[in-house]
Structure 1
Amino acid sequence: MENLIDIGLNLMHPSFRKNRESIIEDAIDEGVSKFIITGTNVKASQIACEYASNYPGTLYSTSGVHPHDAKTCDDNTLLELEKIAKNDCVIAIGECGLDYNRDFSPRDVQRKWFEKQVELAENLDMPLFLHEREAHKDLYDILKKHEDVCEKSVVHCFTGTKQEAQNYIDLGCCIGVTGWICDMERGSALQDAVSVIPTNKLMIETDAPFLIPKNFDKKPKSNKNEPKYLPHILKTIAHYKNDYDVEKLAKEVTKTTKDFFKI
């Protein structure tokens, strides 16, 4: 199988603290060759950058503030994110966006700091790594004001409907699909939506240690997701894309990802 790329890995999560190297080694053994570590606030982005810089060509990272943490932003935030983003291993601004599912930050604060990060990506000419939960219209409306950025945006961990996927694609965005698609209870909308996502707009990710696939024939001993399960997610996506050829899908989504992030 084509060497896969996990575009969303929370490698610095405390649950991976004792075995980060083996997590990556196990995934490489399963055919995953590159990994993007998600930055979710200034401190986390800096830590991810420092770790990724030790593994050039294998690990990359992002620089951004997750909507949950938007309430922590201040006048220095954008300057700090920009400084981090100038490191060679940092390949996108994010994870940024809107989350109306939990509302850990007030919605007006989320919108304010999301748009500022969109503008930062615009100014730095960098891709955007987006987060959206139950906030499609507002995220769409903000992106629509920055159409040049849309072609360089990927909606990470997409969980929406077929129409929402089509709306993002029409803007020019790419779509990231996780093991959410493997969940028969929560994943039905996504299972339907992948049929409209062309492979030149599709990327794959684990969001590990979260969202472990729920459709393994034999349940893993641990409930912790790992990047080694990315091929399983790919096969599930292929199934819901009308039994798309798995090898062909692997090749095409890997090309999409390499071209998008220039890695």
Structure 2
Amino acid sequence: MQLIDIGANLSHDSFDHDRDAVLQRARDAGVVQIVVTGASREHSPKALALAQAHPGELFATAGVHPHHATEYTDECDAEMRALLAHDAVVAVGECGLDYFRDFSPRPAQRKAFERQLQVAVDTGKPLFLHQRDAHSDFMAIMREFQGRLGPAVVHCFTGSRAELFDYLDQDWHVGITGWLCDERRGTHLRELVPSIPADRLMIETDAPYLLPRTVKPAPSHRRNEPMYLAHIVEELARDRGEEVQTTAAATVRTTRDFFRLPPWDEACPPPERHGDRGGGAAHPG
């Protein structure tokens, strides 16, 4: 069984001491490819460096998370465009709106989001989107670009039924994380995931965040990592009433189509490793 993690913050400093071991544990768990999230001026280049060090296995996004919206200057815009010129950078983002924490002023969030949507229009690359407690403004801004954007995935979906169907009505994709496994706040997702068409569904860990609470035994450090994607897909398949292999194969097929990823031939040895890249703090979600 092969799996693809569409969102892992592998440049996070919590992986600096054992990143190679993290990748090996992911391979052992069937995770054959990972999209490394770029979500700031600091971490988007590091995501690309990781992808370049592991060609065909790791890929990257390039963008600025709404928590960092104030850093989205003209210089930042030029940096993101330069990163997106690389084939290994497969999507624009993580970008969007987050009114739950408001780490950046809302006007700055909206401006940074709009500028990154324009980057997506100009480059033709898919969108890797973030939305939390900002659905109305999020949809309004996306509508301003309607008809000009390519594929989009709302990553780490945690919202309501109405939000889910708003996204599906736009033919957007949906990323499901270990939030599904959280009995405190994710129970509603178990009722919603059967409504997501197989060709719109993808899976992700959002590592090192959102360790599935149903993993037993839970690691003492509470750090999430891509190997737990296997646990997420098992729970997702159960909630969808499918065999695990069916859910896994569908998400792999959908992910490869969305990001235009090459197939991973298990018969081929992994490419030569060039050591760890990355480091520094990143954002949650």
- Aligned residue in 1 for 2:147: 148
Q: Distance in 2 between matches of 1:179 and 1:109?
A: 29
What secondary structure does 2:174 align onto?
Answer: strand
- Aligned residue in 2 for 1:256: 254
Q: Which has the higher helix share?
A: 1
The 4+ residue runs of structure 1 with deviation greater than 6 A are none
- Aligned residue in 1 for 2:171: 172
- Aligned residue in 2 for 1:226: 225
Q: Distance in 2 between matches of 1:136 and 1:211?
A: 21
8 Å Cα contact 1:162/1:196 also seen in 2:
no
What secondary structure does 2:42 align onto?
Answer: helix
- Aligned residue in 2 for 1:240: 239
- Aligned residue in 2 for 1:186: 185
- Aligned residue in 2 for 1:29: 28
Q: Distance in 2 between matches of 1:95 and 1:30?
A: 26
TM-score, normalising length from structure 1? 0.96
Specify the code of the residue in structure 2 equivalent to 1:185: R
What secondary structure does 1:129 align onto?
Answer: strand
What secondary structure does 1:57 align onto?
Answer: coil
Specify the code of the residue in structure 1 equivalent to 2:206: D
- Aligned residue in 1 for 2:265: none
Offset, 1:161: 1.1
Q: Distance in 1 between matches of 2:58 and 2:244?
A: 24
Q: Please give the root-mean-square deviation of Cα atoms over the aligned residues, in Å.
A: 1.2
Q: Distance in 2 between matches of 1:7 and 1:167?
A: 21
Unaligned runs of 5+ in 1: none
1:99-133 CA distances to partner (integer Å, 9 max, x unpaired)? 00000111111011101101110110000000111
Specify the code of the residue in structure 2 equivalent to 1:36: V
Offset, 1:150: 5.5
- Aligned residue in 2 for 1:64: 63
Offset, 1:223: 0.7
Offset, 1:183: 0.3
Shifted more, 144-153 versus 49-58: the winner is 144-153
Offset, 1:151: 5.0
Give the 5 Å matches for 1:57-206: 57-148=56-147, 152-206=151-205
Percent of counterpart pairs with the same letter? Answer: 44
1:43-88 CA distances to partner (integer Å, 9 max, x unpaired)? 2101111121111100001110000000122121111100011112
1:122-146 CA distances to partner (integer Å, 9 max, x unpaired)? 1100000001111111111211222
Specify the code of the residue in structure 1 equivalent to 2:21: S
Using a 3 Å threshold, how does the CA distance of structure 1 residues 149 and 132 change in structure 2: closer, same or farther? farther
Q: Distance in 2 between matches of 1:178 and 1:160?
A: 12
Specify the code of the residue in structure 1 equivalent to 2:86: N
Specify the code of the residue in structure 2 equivalent to 1:82: R
Q: Bigger relative contact order, structure 1 or 2, given CA contacts below 8 A and separation 6+? A: 2
Q: Distance in 1 between matches of 2:140 and 2:180?
A: 26
Q: How many residues align?
A: 261
What secondary structure does 2:64 align onto?
Answer: coil
8 Å Cα contact 2:125/2:150 also seen in 1:
no
8 Å Cα contact 2:96/2:129 also seen in 1:
yes
8 Å Cα contact 1:6/1:230 also seen in 2:
yes
TM-score, normalising length from structure 2? 0.89
Q: Distance in 2 between matches of 1:247 and 1:29?
A: 16
What secondary structure does 1:254 align onto?
Answer: helix
Specify the code of the residue in structure 2 equivalent to 1:54: A
Q: Distance in 2 between matches of 1:217 and 1:149?
A: 45
8 Å Cα contact 2:7/2:206 also seen in 1:
yes
Q: Distance in 1 between matches of 2:85 and 2:213?
A: 38
8 Å Cα contact 1:129/1:154 also seen in 2:
yes
What secondary structure does 2:7 align onto?
Answer: strand
1:131-169 CA distances to partner (integer Å, 9 max, x unpaired)? 111111111121122223565100011100122111101
What secondary structure does 1:40 align onto?
Answer: coil
